[in-house]
Amino acid sequence: MPFRRSSGILLHPTSLPGGFGIGDLGPSAFEFIDLLASAGQRLWQVLPLGPTGYGDSPYQCFSAFAGNPLLISLERLIEDGLLTESEARNQDVFQGGNVDFPAVIAHRRALWPRVLDRFEAGGGRPARDRFDRFCGTHAGWLDDFALFMAVKDAQGQAAWTAWEPDIAQRDPSAVARWSARCAREIRLHKLTQFLFFEQWQRVREACRARSIEIMGDLPIFVAHDSAAVWARRELFRLDSEGRPTVLAGVPPDYFSATGQLWGNPHYRWDVLGRTGYAWWIDRFQALLALVDRVRIDHFRGFEASWEVPGDAPTAVRGEWVKGPGASLFEAVQSALKTDRLPFVAENLGVITPEVEALRVRLGLPGMAILQFAFGNDPQARDFKPHNYPRNLVVYTGTHDNDTTVGWWTGGAGHSTRPDSEIKNEREHARRYLGLDGREVHWEFIRAALASVADTAIVPAQDLLGLGSDARMNQPGASSGNWRWRLVPGQLTPDTSRKLAVTTETYDRV
């Protein structure tokens, strides 16, 4: 059974406007939800919500279960008496513009101990009871995560493989010793998780009240430097020192001539299978407690994934190795007790008939990217709207693409191809869309919403017609990503009305 016909906007919460250096779950989130509703949108798509690690990437998180404390609204903490206005606003770098992650992280680390002190001293009994229940309910991942983060703090943020050997290896006596030594820091990390989850649930309730669903994002792989790998080493392909023996990535593709070497460890699918995929079931259930649908990043890796030797400098030298296939999803579906998995398969890149057969067998919609529709790649025909099936999610572009205006006017993302090829691609797009001096981003939006695809998603940057400087991520670049965000008032009522008219015209309200 396909999803109902609808549309939505892709905007990660860190990209919301606000006065504290980064988008968060405070007033700007609720203003954005109101805008979605007024524009007739029924979906808000976000990137992974976990605590970001290497490169500030939401796809390299310190936990597969935890939330990102940087998203905690300081306005809400001020309202709750856990912070003062002067404490929250003591940095001049928070005047707007892109996220300065080092400054934001340093600011929040200085605030959390004060929040903990006030919560312990003056937190009302209902809040303390909710906190105790939260710690008990989530103990399965929260205890390991809080200890991991506390030890990481004490070890100068070093990766866990560089810690003192006994705690790196989780020797029981070392775990007990560090748990006692870092008791306050452990409680602090548990409290920030409690605050994130409470604030997120308020956001989700506001979405539900306006008939808006949230589409989350689940990366297939987890970061090596994470509580997930440190606490469950037996589930990953590591050597005796805890280092990955093989790394995840993809071979050379549209984005990179040397492929993408992500650095994540691969799973021991045989061990996971013998447990009935319990860890994966827990992971899906935890995410579905926060969102309504899930985009599964790199879905093709469940059929076969690119394995690169652990010492390789690039992803060029690797091989495709079979994954768990349908057996994992059948176990998840049985645990969720559902006839239809609320998942979207990110089926971009090197997609084989076997991958498509798995997606079709599971009944999952795939993805189409309009920016990929006009080149000479053999897969381009599948991205043209006249070839879409209904069970599909169409995007003008994703977080990994340039913005549509940037794609149309610049060379970003096309530098490895001849100028003549780029010229032919744009001329094809001009003919297909009937462009004649009109705004290319709105023509892309119109084409996506007019298509038969059940779901259409537009990044906020495309809604605003922004150029390449608003790009969220450039695959293969190790720095400078994930920083873009809105400024207050940038999403105007006029833009909302124009989107509402287009949405209603193509029966997506």
Cβ(229)–Cβ(62) below 8 Å:
no
For residue 346 the two structure tokens come to 């990110």
Inter-residue contact 131 to 194 (CB < 8 Å): yes
Residue 69, both tokens: 């404390």
Q: Which tens digit of pLDDT belongs to each residue from 227-251?
A: 999 999 999 999 999 999 999 999 9
- Which residues are identified as catalytic? 297, 346, 400
pLDDT tens readout for residues 145-182? 999 999 999 999 999 999 999 999 999 999 999 999 99
Could you give the CA distance from residue 490 to residue 458 in angstroms, rounded to a whole number?
A: 16
- What residue has token string 């096309």? 414
Q: Which of 340, 349, 355, 265 is nearest to 303 (CA)?
A: 355
For 343-397, the pLDDT digits (tens) are 999 999 889 999 999 999 999 999 999 999 999 888 899 999 999 999 999 999 9
Judged by phi (left if over 0) then psi (alpha if -120 to 50, else beta), residue 350 lies in beta
Q: pLDDT by residue (tens digit) across 384-441?
A: 999 999 999 999 999 999 999 999 998 644 456 788 888 999 999 999 999 987 899 9
User: Per-residue confidence at 95, pLDDT binned at 50, 70, 90?
Assistant: low
Please tell me the predicted confidence (pLDDT) of residue 418.
81
The answer to whether 460 and 35 have CB atoms below 8 angstroms apart is no
- Listed in sequence order, the residues at least 6 apart from 440 whose beta carbon sits closer than 8 Å to its beta carbon are 404, 405, 408, 429, 433
User: What is the per-residue pLDDT across 268-290, written as a single tens digit (0 to 9) for each?
Assistant: 999 999 999 999 999 999 999 99
Split at pLDDT 50, 70, 90, the class of 115 is very high
CA separation, residue 448 to residues 7, 359, 383, 462, 493 (Å): 9, 22, 10, 12, 22
The reported pLDDT for the residue numbered 92 is 56
